[in-house]
Structure 1
Amino acid sequence: MTKAQIEAEMAELKSDYVRIQGDVEKATSFGVDTTTGERKMIEIEERLGELNKKLDELE
């Protein structure tokens, strides 16, 4: 992966994270189960960590 590809994927993941976080907050206020959203947020955090390592390796 190139630096630009990594940065693009990171930007997309961050956008998804913010969207999911908002969905989880809304679901919480209505008493809806948020397990799936929370799990997805953890997956995004892990992927961002992997991409940060790759980015560090390129620099």
Structure 2
Amino acid sequence: MTKKEIEEELMDLKSDYIRIQGDLEKATSFGVNTSKGEQQLIEMEARMKELNRKLDEVKK
């Protein structure tokens, strides 16, 4: 992956993360089960961590 591709994917993930986090907050206020959404956030965090490592390698 190029630096630009990594940065673009990170931006997309961050945007999706914020959206899902907001949805979870709304769902929580209505007492809806949020375990699937929480799992999505965990997976997204892992992917962002991986992409940040790749970005660090590309910058070297």
Please tell me the TM-score bracket, short chain as reference.
over 0.9
Gapped regions of structure 1 (runs ≥ 5): none
Q: Select the structure with the greater relative contact order (CA < 8 A; seq sep ≥ 6).
A: 2
Residue 50 of structure 2 is aligned to residue 50 of structure 1: yes
Partner residue in 2 for 1:28: 28
Detail structure 1 runs of 4+ shifted over 4 Å in the superposition.
none
Gapped regions of structure 2 (runs ≥ 5): none
Partner residue in 2 for 1:11: 11
Q: Deviation per CA, 1:1-59, whole angstroms, max 9, x where unpaired? A: 00000000000000000000001000000000000100000000000000000000011
TM-score (norm 2): 0.97
- Across the aligned residues of Structure 1 and Structure 2, the Cα RMSD in angstroms comes to 0.3
Q: Percent identity?
A: 64
Give the distance between the partners of 1:14 and 1:55, measured in 2 at CA. 15
